[in-house]
Amino acid sequence: MKQILQSLKTGSTEVAQVPCPAVKRGQLLIRSSHTLVSAGTERMLVEFGKANWLDKARQQPDKVRMVLDKIKTDGLMPTVEAVFNKLDQPLPLGYCNVGTVLEAGAGVTGFTAADRVVSNGKHAEVVSVPLNLCARVPDVVPDEEAAFTVLGAIALQGIRLVQPTLGEAVVVTGLGLIGLVAVQLLRAHGCRVLGLDFDADKLGLARSFGAEVVDLAAGQDPVAAGQAFSRGRGVDAVIITASTKSNEPVHQAALMCRKRGRIVLVGVTGLELSRADFYEKELNFQVSCSYGPGRYDPSYEEKGNDYPVGFVRWTEQRNLEAVLDMMADGRLDVKPLISHRFALEKAEEAYALVGGAGPSLGILLQYPGTDEQADDVLRKTTVHLGGMNRHAALAMTGGGAAATGTVPSLRGVAGDAAIHAVGASLGFVGSGNYATAVLMPAFKEVGVRLKTVASSGGVSGLHAGRKFGFEATTTDTAAVFADAQVNAVVVTTRHDGHAGFVMQALAAGKHVFVEKPLCLTLGELEAIQEAMDRHDAAIHAPMVMVGFNRRFAPQVQKISALLKGVTGPKSFVMTVNAGAIPAEHWTQDLDVGGGRIIGEACHFIDLLRFLAGASIASHQLTRMESRTGDSVSIGLKFEDGSIGTVHYLANGSKAFPKERLEVFAAGRVLQLDNFRKLRGFGWPGFSKMNLWRQDKGQKSCAAAFVKAISDGGPAPIPFDEIVEVARVTIEVANAV
């Protein structure tokens, strides 16, 4: 299927061939008929992409501060690489979609195949959208008009915050699409409306919808006009739907309002507020959040948990329904707002119009119907990216073994590089930021055949496939495990999927590298152990590897080497300045991320287990009281008498090193700061080992996994240690 993607690095727009998204639980798979280009939001994104690096930084000062903090802790080059990786990822455009339901995911009620629906789906031939972000289209509302529903909901939410009453005088500043819809909805509320804009055509449309207008381009004074419009009392409310960096719209709104008037910002403006403007009149100022209650709430949007109507009358979905009702009975007329129509293939022309100086308003994108393209053609879940990387080509030599569905033998291949090239043929499940920034580059550098990358939405997988030379990208995860040419799977999904994918890999007889954690529960751990037990007697048993990269870091390897000459117990203090993550983030969700102890602190339990070289005999947890409960101290005691403490803290300063390891042994001390500076105190012949750039061992970890596959040697991390660390971590996280 085709989808519109935009580069944040260059601002260029493309119509890309992307695998059809997988329909998830609680979602609808929708075949698009029309989408609406949001002139405000999408123009802003295009302009941001075309801006130079300095202008990009100026537009996002908060992100610049984050970058500077990361440089202090991680170093310049890792930070630059992280920024470039983020900007390199394509952005799917669009959020105003109308189409027909192809399939309802598990758990969906109230919708069936062939229903016409609106959603906040992207500009794509097929989209998968959560249930609560969809609404059924009345029969009398054409698809072209229904495409305006999401923008209508944005306007409606701003109006709901204003709480207009019959006969009130309301100003709408900025008469773009949202502003012109707001004019009509306010008129339907029985309000008198005054519209402000610089564009004569938009002013004419507002006038045709029943508003009085002020032409700012002609130099008319909006404050004086507002006073006259309100019969000298001051207007009751102002809705700002303009997009500008200026503070003037808010300042003018304050001057126009009566005492205790209301101002709601729906658009984007400067927000340097004058206290005097608001103080004397006791004005109410509020920023509207998109389509209404539920927006950005994962429980509502992703999990489908609706708010009780008796407590939250107007949610995102119910606002969508209300807008459609207004269209159905004629009180909201969006036909005059359509200025251009483009076929999907001409989307680049549409965005040239959006980013240009020419006049435009509502730009509709039209998609092929079933008479032009059958559903089964659109629903293809795999895109072949054309050509093989050089390692795949090497694997094909000598009889074309890869073409026959087998992984070539290692016998007779000379040299380590060649062995690595044919030894591992990888499928990736998951293509998020960590996968594309760290793991894929690491595996590519080692030298493997990158066969297929799977992602649920398709876009991130396409980007990763192109960037790293995968042969194909898919949204059908099962196809990766079924592919006979894939002998190892790398799992980089959200944590709740890890155990299931590990089990699938083992069932398929494939090696599996799973980014931490291995699993979330003791029950999942037991199931993985049983699956491995079934392979124990096999000559070529699959290997399970967890991405505990820190034990492979060069400075940690040096510490391990130094400790080998120490007799007697050791003491380890691991301080992790983890930083705060909101309680709403998926990693804090115990069902999805497992919480931060299971999700990340496992790294440090494994690190101490590796350096101690002995099993964990006992453990205990001390937790600091907080909403998220992710500031803890974990005490470990090892079988050889060594002890370790992991201070995993979310309440520290970013100016302090993120990770500090201290080792006390035999009257000597080692201190490692952020995997850049290692110092020895009292160590004969060793004082320091500093690196130019941070190295947490990700590349060495990947290389060890690939070498084990290629050489047929033992797993880089013994499976019983992986199980031990997983069990201890889960027990620690569950401790009261």
pLDDT tens string 161-210: 999 999 999 999 999 999 999 999 999 999 999 999 999 999 999 999 99
Q: Is the pLDDT of residue 615 over 90?
A: yes
Mean pLDDT of the chain: 89
Extract the tokens encoding 69: 């903090």
Q: Is the pLDDT of residue 409 over 70?
A: no
Q: Which helix (H) or strand (E) holds 254?
A: helix 248-256
Question: Are 142 and 165 found together in one domain?
Answer: no
- Give the burial string for 426-439 (b: 16+ CB within 10 Å, else e): bbbbbbbeebbbbb
Q: pLDDT tier at 82 (50, 70, 90 boundaries)? A: low
Longest dimension (CA), the chain: 93
Q: Is the pLDDT of residue 413 over 90?
A: no
- Helices 416-423 and 698-711 cross at an angle (nearest 10°) of 80
**Is the separation of the CB atoms in 668 and 656 below 8 Å?**
no
Question: Are 197 and 280 found together in one domain?
Answer: yes
Residues above pLDDT 90, as percent of the chain: 76
Q: Helices then strands (H, E): number in the chain?
A: 28, 31
Q: What is the mean pLDDT of residues 121-136?
A: 97
Q: What is the mean pLDDT of residues 542-558?
A: 97
Q: What is the mean pLDDT of residues 454-470?
A: 94
Q: pLDDT tier at 417 (50, 70, 90 boundaries)? A: very low
| Domain span including residue 267 | 151-287
Q: Which amino acid is at 103?
A: E
Of 265, 287, 309, at which residue does a domain stop?
Answer: 287
Specify if 422 maps to a domain. yes
Q: pLDDT tier at 11 (50, 70, 90 boundaries)? A: confident
Torsion sign, CA atoms 379, 41, 494, 693: positive
Question: Are 417 and 490 found together in one domain?
Answer: yes
pLDDT in tens, 438-456: 999 999 999 899 999 999 9
Q: Is the pLDDT of residue 312 over 90?
A: yes
Give dist(CA 395, CA 379) in Å, integer.
31
Q: pLDDT tier at 129 (50, 70, 90 boundaries)? A: very high
Q: What is the DSSP string of 100-155?
A: EEEEEPTT--S--TT-EEEES--SBSEEEEEGGGEEEPPTTS-HHHHTTHHHHHHH
Q: Kindly list the distances between the CA atom of residue 100 and the CA atoms of 119, 148, 581, in Å, as whole numbers in the listed order.
A: 11, 16, 38
Contact partners, residue 150, CB within 8 Å, separation at least 6: 36, 95, 96, 97, 118, 119, 120, 291, 320
Q: What is the DSSP string of 189-249?
A: TT-EEEEEES-HHHHHHHHHTT-EEEEGGGT--HHHHHHHHTTTS-EEEEEE--B-S-SHH
Q: pLDDT tier at 245 (50, 70, 90 boundaries)? A: confident
Three-state secondary-structure class, residue 447: coil
Specify if 426 maps to a domain. yes
The pLDDT, as a whole number, for residue 395 is 41
Q: pLDDT tier at 432 (50, 70, 90 boundaries)? A: very high
Question: Are 366 and 422 found together in one domain?
Answer: no
Q: pLDDT tier at 359 (50, 70, 90 boundaries)? A: confident
Q: Give the closest residue to 137 by CA, choosing from 293, 28, 22.
A: 28
Give dist(CA 95, CA 147) in Å, integer.
10
Q: Which amino acid is at 171?
A: V
**Is the separation of the CB atoms in 586 and 494 below 8 Å?**
yes
**Is the separation of the CB atoms in 383 and 473 below 8 Å?**
yes
Specify if 692 maps to a domain. yes
CATH number at residue 631: 3.30.360.10
- Provide the β-strand partners of residue 214: 196
Q: Which residue has the higher pLDDT, 79 or 146?
A: 146
The pLDDT, as a whole number, for residue 393 is 44
The pLDDT, as a whole number, for residue 729 is 98
Of 323, 351, 376, at which residue does a domain stop?
Answer: 376
Q: Is the pLDDT of residue 414 over 50?
A: no
Q: Choose the weakest-confidence range: 247-251, 346-350, 351-355, 607-611.
A: 351-355
pLDDT in tens, 326-344: 999 999 999 999 999 999 9
Question: Are 176 and 234 found together in one domain?
Answer: yes
Q: Is the pLDDT of residue 396 over 50?
A: no
pLDDT in tens, 619-646: 999 999 888 889 999 999 999 999 999 9
Question: Are 358 and 400 found together in one domain?
Answer: no
Give dist(CA 575, CA 647) in Å, integer.
5
pLDDT in tens, 690-712: 998 899 999 999 999 999 999 98
Phi-psi region of 469 (alpha: psi -120 to 50; beta: other; left: phi over 0): left
Question: Are 535 and 570 found together in one domain?
Answer: no
Question: Are 192 and 202 found together in one domain?
Answer: yes
Q: What is the mean pLDDT of residues 501-526?
A: 97
Q: What is the DSSP string of 458-522?
A: SHHHHHHHHHHT-SEEES-HHHHHH-TT--EEEE-S-GGGHHHHHHHHHHTT-EEEEPSPS-SSH
Q: What is the DSSP string of 121-135?
A: --SBSEEEEEGGGEE
Q: Choose the weakest-confidence range: 22-26, 256-260, 417-421.
A: 417-421
pLDDT in tens, 84-96: 666 677 889 999 9
Number of domains in the chain: 4
Q: Give the closest residue to 130 by CA, choosing from 356, 357, 299.
A: 299
The pLDDT, as a whole number, for residue 18 is 95
Q: Give the closest residue to 451 by CA, choosing from 483, 404, 419.
A: 483
Q: What is the mean pLDDT of residues 226-254?
A: 95
Q: Kindly list the distances between the CA atom of residue 500 and the CA atoms of 62, 485, 492, 514, 527, in Å, as whole numbers in the listed order.
A: 38, 21, 12, 11, 10
Q: Give the closest residue to 284 by CA, choosing from 162, 157, 156.
A: 162
Give dist(CA 337, CA 327) in Å, integer.
13
Q: Give the closest residue to 230 by CA, choosing from 259, 257, 196.
A: 257
**Is the separation of the CB atoms in 129 and 121 below 8 Å?**
yes
Specify if 535 maps to a domain. yes
Q: pLDDT tier at 10 (50, 70, 90 boundaries)? A: confident
Question: Are 694 and 554 found together in one domain?
Answer: yes
CATH number at residue 241: 3.40.50.720
- Provide the β-strand partners of residue 633: 622, 647
Specify if 119 maps to a domain. yes
Q: pLDDT tier at 354 (50, 70, 90 boundaries)? A: confident
Specify if 327 maps to a domain. no
Q: Give the closest residue to 514 by CA, choosing from 530, 541, 493.
A: 493
CA 286 vs. chain centroid, Å, equals 27
Question: Are 559 and 590 found together in one domain?
Answer: yes
The pLDDT, as a whole number, for residue 535 is 81
CATH number at residue 347: 3.90.180.10
Residue 517 preceded by cis peptide, ω within 30: yes
**Is the separation of the CB atoms in 572 and 662 below 8 Å?**
yes
Q: What is the mean pLDDT of residues 115-144?
A: 97
Specify if 305 maps to a domain. no
Specify if 297 maps to a domain. no
Q: Kindly list the distances between the CA atom of residue 322 and the CA atoms of 17, 160, 192, in Å, as whole numbers in the listed order.
A: 35, 12, 21
Question: Are 265 and 229 found together in one domain?
Answer: yes
Q: Quick count: other Cβ atoms within 10 Å of Cβ 693? A: 13
Give dist(CA 109, CA 137) in Å, integer.
16
CA 43 vs. chain centroid, Å, equals 21
The pLDDT, as a whole number, for residue 47 is 65
Question: Are 400 and 354 found together in one domain?
Answer: no
Q: Kindly list the distances between the CA atom of residue 653 and the CA atoms of 27, 635, 736, in Å, as whole numbers in the listed order.
A: 40, 23, 27
Q: Quick count: other Cβ atoms within 10 Å of Cβ 379? A: 19
Of 287, 312, 343, at which residue does a domain stop?
Answer: 287
- What would the 3-class secondary structure string for 321-360 be? HHHHHHHHCCCCCCHHHEEEEEEHHHHHHHHHHHHCCCCC
Q: Is the pLDDT of residue 144 over 60?
A: yes
Nearest 5°: phi and psi at 234? 90, 140
